Amino acid sequence: MFSDIWRISAKYNDKAGLSERPGAFDVSSALAKAVCPEDPEGFTDLGAHRLNDCMLMPDVDAAVDRILDAVDTGERVAVFGDYDCDGVCATALMYDFLKKSLECNVIWRVPERKEGYGLSVSVIDELASMGVTLIITVDNGISANAEIDYCDSRGIDVIVTDHHEVTKELPNSIANMNPAREDSLYPAKNVCGCVVAYKLCEALSIAVGIDGIENYLPLAAIATVGDIMEMQGENRSIVKLGAEMIEDTMFPGLNVLISDRKGKKRADEINAEFVSFYVVPVLNAAGRMGEAADAVRLLLAESEKEALPLLYSIIKLSDLRKSEVERITADFEANPSKYIVNDPKDEFLFVKDSEWIEGIIGVLAGKLCERFDKNVCVLTEEHGDGGGDVVLRASVRGAGRISVVQALKECGDLFLKFGGHENACGFSIYEKNLGELVRRVSEIAGAMSQKTPAVKTSEAILYLPPECITLKTAESLKTLEPFGEGNRQPVFVTGDIESLDVSRPGDTGKVIRFNFRFRGGCYATGVNFKDLKYGDMLTCVKPAAVVYTLGVNEFNGKRTAQMTVLDIIEGDCGGIADDRLLNETYGERLERIDFDLFRAFHITKEDLNLIFRTLKGIGGTFSFRDVAGVKREAMKKGGDAASLFTWFKLKYALSVFTELGVVGREKTGMYYFPEIHEKKDLSSSRTFDAIGTRYE
């Protein structure tokens, strides 16, 4: 909150509806046209006919022939997966299909996190000793060239099913099924590993004339959500179809997992959001805190009786992970210098502790990144190899201003292992090389950040009039599901706020509740679970607009529209009279709120002068708590002062002052006024360059 510039996307505002009265605006239609202008009706048509032909997968024919040969001759086959949600689901899917549909002599194996990702010589030797002559990898293998050559030396054939980027020559496998291959004809390049495994099983079912392959879609849907695949094209259909089947599948273990999570959260339906928050973390917890094999055993359980002990064991691990992350985060906030490796002012924050569990460093990196709005690299210690050198395992999350994977790729010569995506990656490195890595990355990230805007701009896709914050609108948005990467839940902006009441109900204080009254007599409620640290700040705001997503809340059998509040935009809306408000068209209101947003997120030289003089009046040194006092006094005075001293402007005025050197900041967080002997030029402030202006 109070950090981003918010803009309303022009492309999502249906020009045909701009002259309509706000209450008649068709929200879901406007969104569908904007998301998929070439086929807005097709965007909501997610039936099985939208799934791609499995026979377009590279090398699928060779994979089918080799597996059927193995089945005919009774060879022992091993399915080798991964320890994350995608790998666990893919392993269970492939094993279950081969065993039950083809009566294959098959076993499965997933590595534990301490063994590392992918095939290894020790695993290959283990499988060879068990008489395995064919390995089918799922969610891994496309870069295991040396390991697959070793398989050949042990008399083991390999079929690779994977979806990760092809960074080397293709391995010497019987088949390399990967839609990311340059020569792939498969239309969807961004499906997860479990979907690739599903497509191989579908091709096998066609070859032998078996029905019922769609019963495996729930596993493919969970894996698609868990691996954060883009919610476009085929992925949308897979998640939609799989979610509709997920409450009653042919997997007793999955059924008890869904039933347990649904009962505890009182969800009124199962969708991608439910899967993301309540299913994926449980399956991931086994690999992060215990044995990933337990998650596979849960999915493959033959009865609820067999599944329940596994489920409760994994849930305990999931709860332990949450509490451990909360404990470490609190400890970090209390004593950051104990963990921070580099200068905390750097764009990239390196955080290290040798006692942290490898399985939680990714979650912790995400939590710290969100909490401090910085790129974060969390490191912990693993055992070295060879000469006893200490090896560090790292997980990285980006704040979105620079590509963290690009910054780290430039230091590739220092890594033992490296991989990931633009804003999430990981690596291993000798501890003796950490200092050099920090030095290089600090320079690279600093240079990259100079080319990015000093203030982050976020986009709300639609202006929503207060009259449209209704249960009908909230329910109509469900036609645009599933939401996720590439099809985010729609973010709205609504202005004309007359009053706002903020409270922290309950004993836990883990939710902020909002009650809005809008001009024209409309009311709405909202909640926020993430920005609890802003609770006190929200008690002294003069809201110009609210930024939010819209959903349905069900309580005591009553369904209502409920906003999930993302940000409160402060300012002076000008006090539009109700009779004028009711006569405005949608387009007129949109134009007016656009101007309100412009004023809210820009600051003039005169503004800076007034804020600086006010801060100077506090005393020699001051903290942000003292700034909060200035804000409260401004609210009491009202008028122009209340519009000027917004949290956004106060924050970025301090950024301008520190960039110019007219205000200093100590490591303790205290601000002070250094001696100044020369005049400062505002043009040297990147922040003022981003939001500084004069109103016309």
Confidence of residue 445 (pLDDT cuts 50, 70, 90): confident
Whether residue 308 is found in the same domain as residue 438:
no
φ, ψ (nearest 5 deg) of residue 692: -80, 140
Inside any domain, residue 457: no
DSSP label at 45?
A: -
Confidence of residue 461 (pLDDT cuts 50, 70, 90): confident
Inside any domain, residue 681: yes
Confidence of residue 525 (pLDDT cuts 50, 70, 90): very high
Whether residue 141 is found in the same domain as residue 86:
yes
Whether residue 572 is found in the same domain as residue 637:
no
Inside any domain, residue 458: no
The two structure tokens encoding residue 366? 């995400």
Of 450, 480, 504, the domain-final residue = 450
List C-alpha distances in Å: 671 to 533, 612, 652.
Answer: 21, 12, 14
Whether residue 424 is found in the same domain as residue 546:
no
Q: Print the SS3 string covering 491-558.
A: CEEEECEEEEEEECCCCCCCCEEEEEEECCCEEEEEEECCCHHHCCHHHHCCEEEEEEEEEEEEECCE
In this structure, the strands spanning 132-138 and 348-352 are unpaired
Cα 487 off chain centre by: 12
| Average pLDDT, rounded, for the chain | 86
Q: Which has the higher per-residue pLDDT, 594 or 205? A: 205
User: What is the model's pLDDT at position 640?
Assistant: 66
Integer-rounded Cα radius of gyration of the chain:
28
Spatial CB neighbours of 198, under 8 Å, sequence gap ≥ 6: 93, 213, 216, 217, 219, 220
User: What is the model's pLDDT at position 431?
Assistant: 92
Q: Which has the higher per-residue pLDDT, 573 or 125? A: 125
Confidence of residue 589 (pLDDT cuts 50, 70, 90): confident
The two structure tokens encoding residue 441? 């990355």
Q: How many CB atoms lie within 10 A of CB 657?
A: 23
Whether residue 627 is found in the same domain as residue 497:
no
Whether residue 422 is found in the same domain as residue 556:
no
What integer is the mean pLDDT of 305-325? 92
Q: What CATH number does residue 417 fall under?
A: 3.10.310.30
Label residue 175 exposed, middle or buried (CB < 10 Å: 0-12, 13-18, 19+): buried
pLDDT tens digit sequence for 282-298 = 999 898 888 899 999 99
Query: For helices 304-334 and 361-372, what crossing angle results, to 10°?
Result: 50
Inside any domain, residue 279: yes
Inside any domain, residue 298: yes
Task: Assess contact for 178 and 161: CB atoms under 8 A.
Answer: yes
pLDDT exceeds 60 at position 17: no
Whether residue 94 is found in the same domain as residue 178:
yes
Whether residue 18 is found in the same domain as residue 128:
no
Inside any domain, residue 41: no
Whether residue 441 is found in the same domain as residue 489:
no
pLDDT tens digit sequence for 391-441 = 999 999 988 778 888 888 889 899 988 876 667 888 889 999 999 999 999
User: What is the model's pLDDT at position 519?
Assistant: 86
Q: Is the peptide bond before 58 cis (omega within 30 degrees of 0)?
A: no
What integer is the mean pLDDT of 217-226? 96
Label residue 678 exposed, middle or buried (CB < 10 Å: 0-12, 13-18, 19+): exposed
pLDDT tens digit sequence for 634-644 = 777 666 666 67
pLDDT tens digit sequence for 118-134 = 899 999 999 999 999 99
Confidence of residue 696 (pLDDT cuts 50, 70, 90): very low
Q: What CATH number does residue 316 fall under?
A: 3.90.1640.30
Inside any domain, residue 455: no
User: What is the model's pLDDT at position 170?
Assistant: 94
Q: What CATH number does residue 487 fall under?
A: 2.40.50
What integer is the mean pLDDT of 48-77? 96
pLDDT exceeds 50 at position 157: yes
User: What is the model's pLDDT at position 268?
Assistant: 56
Spatial CB neighbours of 348, under 8 Å, sequence gap ≥ 6: 342, 374, 375, 376, 377, 404, 407, 441, 442, 445
DSSP annotation string for 585-642: -HHHHHHHHHHHHHHHT-B-HHHHHHHHHHHHTT-SEE-HHHHHHHHHHHHHH-HHHH
State the residue range of the domain holding 120: 50-321
Spatial CB neighbours of 372, under 8 Å, sequence gap ≥ 6: 349
Whether residue 145 is found in the same domain as residue 277:
yes
Whether residue 380 is found in the same domain as residue 502:
no
What integer is the mean pLDDT of 306-319? 93
The domain total for the chain is 4
Whether residue 568 is found in the same domain as residue 656:
no
Q: How far apart are CA 92 and CA 73, in angstroms?
A: 23
Of 321, 348, 363, the domain-final residue = 321
Of 570, 593, 616, the domain-final residue = 593
Helix (H, G, I), strand (E, B) or coil at 318: helix
- Percent pLDDT > 70 in the chain is 90
pLDDT tens digit sequence for 353-390 = 988 988 889 889 988 888 777 899 999 987 545 457 88
513: left (phi over 0), alpha (psi -120 to 50) or beta: beta
Q: Which amino acid is at 590?
A: L
Inside any domain, residue 42: no
DSSP annotation string for 419-483: EEETTEEEEEEEGGGHHHHHHHHHHHHHHHHHTS-SS-EEEESEE--GGG-SHHHHHHGGGGPPP
